[in-house]
Structure 1
Amino acid sequence: MKITYYPEDDVIYIDLQDKPSVESEEVSPDIVVDFDEEGIPVGIEISNASQKVRFQDLEIINLPVSGLTLKKAA
C-alpha cells in the first residue's frame, strides 16, 4: 500500500493494490474509489484533501508488517 499526497492538486491517493483500475465510483463528494476488473478496490482518491484530512494526526496502528519505510519526496 502506498499513500501519496499531490500538493499541486491537493489530492491524496491511496494505492491499495498494484493492479490497474478499470472502473471508478464517487462514493462521497471528492472521494473516488477505483476498482479492478473483479470489482475489488485498488485505490482511493481524496480531492481537496487539506480540507478533509488532518495530516498532523496520521497514525499507523497495529499493521501486520515489519520494516515499514517512510519516504519524503525530494
Structure 2
Amino acid sequence: MKLKIDQQADALYLALSEAPASRSEEISPGIVVDYDDQDRVVGIEMLYLSKRAPKADFHRLLFETVPEIA
C-alpha cells in the first residue's frame, strides 16, 4: 500500500495494489476510485486536497491499525 501526496496537483492517491487500473469512477465530487480488470479497487484519489483539509500538515502523517475484535 502506498500513499502519495502531490502538492502541485493538490491531490492524494492511496494505491492499494500494484495492479494497473483498467477503469476509474468518480464516486463523489473529487473522489475517484480506480478498478482493475477484475473490478477490484486498486486505488483511491482525493482531489482538491487543500480545500478538503486546509490546516492539515501532510509532512506529518499518523497511521493507526485498529485491532481486530475476536
Instruction: Give TM class, smaller chain.
Output: 0.7 to 0.9
Aligned amino acid, residue 41 of structure 1: V
What are the equivalent positions in structure 2 for 1:59-70 lying under 5 Å apart?
Answer: 59-62=62-65
| 1:20 corresponds to | 20
Identity, in percent, stands at 36
Normalised by the size of structure 1, how large is the TM-score? 0.75
Given the two structures, how large is their TM-score scaled by the length of structure 2? 0.79
How many equivalent residue pairs? 64
Letter in 1 for 2:29: P
Deviations 1:44-64 (A, max 9, x none): 111101222463484311268
Counterpart of 2:8 in structure 1 is 8
RMSD between superposed Cα atoms in Å: 2.1
Structure 2, unmatched stretches of 5+, are none
For residues 62 and 46 of structure 1, what CA distance do their matches in structure 2 show? 21
